[in-house]
C-alpha cells in the first residue's frame, strides 16, 4: 500500500511538471519525450523500491547504468539526463527535495555527427515534385520553399499566421524555443509562391472556414508538425527519391548553403535562432567537407585516383 501511494505521488509530480513545461511553450515533441523518460524513471524507482525523496547521486548513476545496459544511444541517454535535470530543478523549486543529485551528473560525450543536407540538384528535384496547379500541391511547394528559404524549425513553421508575414519587407516573425521571437527573411522565389497560394489556393483549402494560420491541411485546419512530416514522406514517395529527408534536413540545407556562399557565422546564428554560436559552428564542418570534396574532384594534384577515407 505504501508503494502504491508513492507511485501515485510520483505520477502527480510528473503531471504537474509537464503542465509547467506546457506553460513555458515547449514543443509537444519535447514534452512527450520528457513524459516517456519520466515514466521509465518512475518504473525504475518502483522496481528498486526507492521513493523520489530518497534518490541521490548513487541512485541516478544506477539508473544511467540501467539505460546503458539497454544499449540506448548516447543522444538518448543525454536526453534522459536533460529531462531529469529539469525535473529535479522543478522538485527543488517546489521544495519536494532538499538536495539536487543531478548537479554531480555530466552528459555523455557525444559522437559528433555532421548534419545531413541536400545538394543543389537534390533540392531542385525535391521542389519540382508537388503539382502547383492543385491547392495541396501549391501548399506543399510553399511549405518546402519556406523551410529552405528561411531555415525555420518545423515547430515554428506550423505556428506562422498570415499577420506574421511582412510581405513588403519579405520577412516573417516566428516564435522559437521558449517562445522567443525573431525575424527571418525570404527571397523573390517564395514571394511569388506566397502570392499565388494566398490569392488562389489557400481559399480553396479553407473550405468556408476561418483561421489565421498560413499553412492549412486538406480539411482547412492548421498543419501540425506530424502533418508536415507526412507531407514530406508523400513528396519523397511521389518523386521516387533515393534520399530520405526530415524537416530538419531543410533547415540544415539552408545553413550549409548560406555558409557555402560566404555568409558569416554570426548572421546564420541569428537567422537560425541559435542561442549559442557553438551550435551553429557544426555547419562550418559541413562546409569545410564540401570544400574538401570540391578540391579533391577539381584540382589536378588532388590524387583523384586515391580512394578517400
Count other C-beta atoms under 10 Å from residue 20's C-beta.
14
What pLDDT is attached to residue 64? 93
- Residue of 286 and 237 predicted with greater confidence: 237
Question: Residues 32-36: what's their mean pLDDT?
Answer: 92
Strand partners, 183: 173
193 with 137: CB under 8 angstroms?
no
Q: Is the pLDDT of residue 263 over 80?
A: yes
Q: Active-site residue 180, yes or no?
A: no
Instruction: State the catalytic residue, choosing from 80, 202, 251, 257.
Output: 251
| Interval 51-85: pLDDT, tens | 899 899 999 999 999 998 988 888 888 899 999 99
Output DSSP code: residue 182.
E
Query: Alpha-carbon Rg of the chain, whole angstroms?
Result: 23
Which one from 7, 177, 182, 290 is the annotated catalytic residue?
177
Cα dihedral sign, 156-158-162-163: negative
pLDDT band with cut points at 50, 70 and 90 for residue 307: very low
Catalytic residue among 283, 290, 304, 307: 283
- Identify the active-site residue in 7, 46, 89, 248: 248
Mean pLDDT within 141-159: 95
CATH architecture of 2-104: Orthogonal Bundle (1.10)
pTM check: above 0.75: no
Label residue 112 by pLDDT band (50, 70, 90): low
Q: Which three cell numbers stand for residue 70?
A: 539497454
Given 79, 139, 202, 274, the catalytic residue? 274
Contacts of 23 by beta carbon, 8 Å cutoff, 6+ apart = none
Note the pLDDT of residue 301: 65
Q: What is the mean pLDDT of the chain?
A: 87
What distances in angstroms separate CA 128 from CA 114, 222, 241, 253, one per listed residue?
27, 24, 12, 17
Q: Is 153 a catalytic residue?
A: yes
Q: Mean pLDDT throughout 251-276? A: 87
**257 pLDDT more than 50:** yes
If pLDDT is split at 50, 70 and 90, which confidence band does 308 have?
A: very low
Determine whether 248 is an active site residue.
yes
Q: What is the pLDDT of residues 180-208, one digit of tens each?
A: 899 999 999 999 999 999 999 999 999 88
The residues spanned by each domain of the chain are 2-104, 120-297
Backbone angles phi, psi at 238, to 5 degrees: -60, -40
- Say yes or no to pLDDT of 116 above 80: yes
One fold for 2-104 and 120-297: no
Contact present, 141 and 214 (Cβ < 8 Å): no
Annotated catalytic, 251? yes
Looking at residue 72, its pLDDT comes to: 86
Listed in sequence order, the DSSP H helices in the chain are 2-23, 28-48, 57-69, 74-93, 120-127, 135-150, 154-157, 188-196, 202-206, 225-238, 247-260, 265-272, 277-280, 282-298
DSSP assignment string, 18-78: HHHHHHTT--HHHHHHHHHHHHHHHHHHHHHT--GGG--HHHHHHHHHHHHHTT--HHHHH
Q: Could you say which of 3.40.50.1000, 3.40.309.10, 3.40.640.10, 1.10.443.10 is the CATH number of the domain covering 120-297?
A: 1.10.443.10
- How far from chain centre, in Å, is Cα 144? 15
68 part of the active site: no
Task: Find all residues with CB under 8 Å of 39, minimum gap 6, and list them.
Answer: 14
Catalytic residue check, 168: no
pLDDT score recorded for residue 14: 93
Q: Which of 79, 153, 201, 257 is catalytic?
A: 153
C-alpha cell at 82: 536533460
Amino acid at each position: 500500500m505504501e508503494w502504491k501511494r508513492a507511485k501515485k505521488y510520483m505520477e502527480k509530480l510528473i503531471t504537474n511538471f509537464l503542465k509547467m513545461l506546457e506553460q513555458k511553450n515547449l514543443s509537444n515533441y519535447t514534452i512527450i519525450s520528457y513524459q516517456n523518460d519520466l515514466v521509465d524513471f518512475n518504473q525504475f524507482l518502483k522496481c528498486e523500491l526507492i521513493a523520489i525523496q530518497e534518490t541521490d547521486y548513487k541512485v541516478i548513476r544506477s539508473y544511467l547504468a540501467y539505460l546503458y545496459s539497454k544499449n540506448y544511444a548516447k543522444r538518448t541517454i543525454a536526453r534522459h539526463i536533460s529531462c531529469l535535470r529539469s525535473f529535479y530543478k522543478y522538485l527543488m523549486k517546489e521544495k519536494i527535495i532538499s538536495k539536487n543529485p543531478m548537479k554531480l551528473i555530466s552528459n555523455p560525450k557525444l559522437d559528433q555527427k555532421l548534419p545531413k543536407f541536400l545538394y543543389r540538384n537534390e533540392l531542385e528535384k525535391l521542389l519540382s515534385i508537388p503539382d502547383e496547379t492543385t491547392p495541396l500541391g501549391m501548399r506543399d511547394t510553399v511549405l518546402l520553399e519556406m523551410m529552405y528559404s528561411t531555415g525555420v524549425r518545423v515547430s515554428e513553421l506550423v505556428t506562422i499566421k498570415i499577420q506574421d508575414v511582412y510581405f513588403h519587407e519579405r520577412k516573417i516573425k516566428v516564435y522559437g524555443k521558449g517562445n522567443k521571437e525573431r525575424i527571418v527573411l525570404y527571397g523573390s522565389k517564395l514571394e511569388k509562391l506566397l502570392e499565388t497560394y494566398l490569392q488562389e489556393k489557400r481559399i480553396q483549402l479553407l473550405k468556408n472556414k476561418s483561421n489565421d494560420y498560413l499553412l492549412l491541411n486538406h480539411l482547412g485546419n492548421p498543419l501540425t508538425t506530424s502533418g508536415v512530416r507526412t507531407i514530406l514522406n508523400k513528396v519523397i514517395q511521389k518523386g521516387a527519391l533515393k534520399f530520405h529527408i526530415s524537416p530538419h534536413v531543410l533547415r540544415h540545407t539552408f545553413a550549409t548553403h548560406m555558409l557555402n556562399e560566404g555568409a558569416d557565422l554570426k548572421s546564420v546564428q541569428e537567422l537560425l535562432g541559435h542561442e549559442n554560436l557553438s551550435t551553429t559552428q557544426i555547419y562550418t564542418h559541413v562546409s569545410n567537407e564540401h570544400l574538401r570534396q570540391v578540391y579533391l574532384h577539381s584540382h589536378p594534384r588532388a590524387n583523384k585516383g586515391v580512394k578517400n577515407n
